[in-house]
Amino acid sequence: GAVVSQHPSWVICKSGTSVKIECRSLDFQATTMFWYRQFPKQSLMLMATSNEGSKATYEQGVEKDKFLINHASLTLSTLTVTSAHPEDSSFYICSATKGVLGNQPQHFGDGTRLSIL
């Protein structure tokens, strides 16, 4: 199998606080991890791609100082939403691939629903 675990599944916090979301590959080493954002009834929007031990590559329009990504090991990547505001409320989903060749299947976590009050 290829299991990806995401934690927490749901978080509510006050405006101005920072929130950290963890993404773990449980039964494989993830060479690359991806972070997506999904609004209700919409498709997945790629925010950034991260490879273990290197800086994340952010998509155009995504603030790297706002959404801090750390991929410190082959099984863990974290997304920190800094100084969160209500407009940051969304469903955040991570995915991971194994192997170094391109076009490997992406295996997704179950997402984190973030609500900023």
Partner 1 sequence: GENVEQHPSTLSVQEGDSAVIKCTYSDSASNYFPWYKQELGKGPQLIIDIRSNVGEKKDQRIAVTLNKTAKHFSLHITETQPEDSAVYFCAASMGSTLTFGKGTMLLVSP
Q: In the complex with partner 1, which residue's Cβ is closer, 48 or 116? A: 48
As given in the structure block, the two tokens for residue 87 are: 């407009």
Q: In what order do the strands lie in the sheet with 76-81?
A: 4-7, 19-25, 76-81, 67-73
Nearest-5° Cα angle at 88, 66 to 80: 40
Question: 44, 22, 46, 52: which is closest to 34 by C-alpha?
Answer: 46
Kindly state the number of chain residues that form the binding site for partner 1, as judged by CB under 8 A: 23
- The answer to whether 98 contacts partner 1 (rule: CB under 8 A) is no
Residue in 25, 97, 98, 114 binding partner 1, rule: CB under 8 A: 97
Binding range to partner 1, per CB under 8 A, among 12-20, 64-72, 74-82, 94-102:
94-102
Q: Which parts of 2-61 interact with partner 1 (CB under 8 A)?
A: 4, 6, 32, 34, 42-44, 46, 49
Euclidean distance between CA atoms 79 and 76, whole angstroms: 10
Positions in the binding site for partner 1 (CB under 8 A): 4, 6, 32, 34, 42-44, 46, 49, 93, 95, 97, 102-111, 113
